[in-house]
Amino acid sequence: MKNVLIIGGTGILGRPLVAQFIKNDECIVYSISLERAQNPSFPSVVEEIIIDRYSDGYKSVIISLNEKINHKWDAVIDLISYDDVSAEQTYRLFKDHARHFIVISTALVYDRSEEIGNPISEITPLASTGQFGGYIDGKIKLENFWNTISDANWTLLRPYHILGKGSLLGCLPYHNRDPKILEKINNNETLYLANAGNVNFNYIHPLDVAIVIYKIINNPKSFREAYNLANPEIINGFKYYEEIGKQLNKNIKVENITLSNIWSEMRGWEMTTLPHVYSVEKLRKDLDFVPNIPLAQAIKDSISNYPQYNIPIEQIPVHAHMNKLPKPKKPDWL
């Protein structure tokens, strides 16, 4: 039987990943999260460990868990690692017990100090810390840590704009991950979009992420490698919002906000104004798989399970993470 541990098992990526594993009767799935899965709950075959990874008791819980599975994890999958501190924590606690570490990074780590052509491939250097904001700094430190590790098998995955069940919609300022976007479109409100929405990017559905992780486990080709995770279809920002309107049977109204205004105002999410089109040829070559769930389905899945928040927008986790200080610096070429 394969033992698989998912750190962050009840999140947007965790839920479809758990489902992907429990389809296979040979997998025993353990999930670490802050709260139990609800609506729906996980089946009884999934063992849930409810604990904060930064709490004082986390280390002792993991030591006991390692003993319980006889110190043999086929994979430890860290979906909620945001910096070198969390990366080192996972490595130290599981390095003698895990055959393969799989860690979620981000496609935002690439150096954008100079304009680069699309699609962006994995050979593009990483940015230096201090360039593109606190969230990206943390992910760069995470990747730099794993790149020093030679005594374990690890794989870094770099998604951009995860979109599906449980995710907020919105890909550009002023409407990035907007909890009120459905209400605004239904009320025929004008959307204020960077460059009138004329920005190209890729996205990925959480189920496609789950499939990639399932396929990549203990694949020697993936050891000590990083992969872009994206549906290769190039999406235009205006068309993205237009598709939301289409599914709501509404026409959208857009007013342009210039890129110079976005970067001078620094309200947040400035990095999403850059083109984000990524090559997945390395993924295709090593896994013989390319994410393919279409945008219309991803938006439909989000709309049908749209998250509700009764907290200030800056406290919504995705906003807190993506806009962590310091603020990004505007590239000179933009």
Low-confidence ranges of the chain (pLDDT < 70): 25
pLDDT of 91: 98
Task: Judge whether 175 and 267 are in contact, CB under 8 Å.
Answer: no
pLDDT of 117: 84
Backbone angles phi, psi at 201, to 5 degrees: -160, 170
* Dihedral over Cα of 287, 293, 294, 295: its sign: negative
- Kindly report, residue by residue over 107-119, the tens digit of the pLDDT: 999 999 999 888 9
- Partners of 33 in the β-ladder: 50
Calpha distance 325→117 (Å, rounded): 28
pLDDT of 72: 94
Backbone angles phi, psi at 301, to 5 degrees: -65, -40
pLDDT of 25: 66
Report the interhelical angle of 237-247 vs 295-304 (nearest 10°).
50
Q: How many residues in the chain?
A: 334
pLDDT of 78: 98
Distances (CA, A) of 177 to 26, 67, 169, 181, 272: 37, 41, 5, 8, 11
Topology of domain 2-162+203-231, CATH = Rossmann fold (3.40.50)
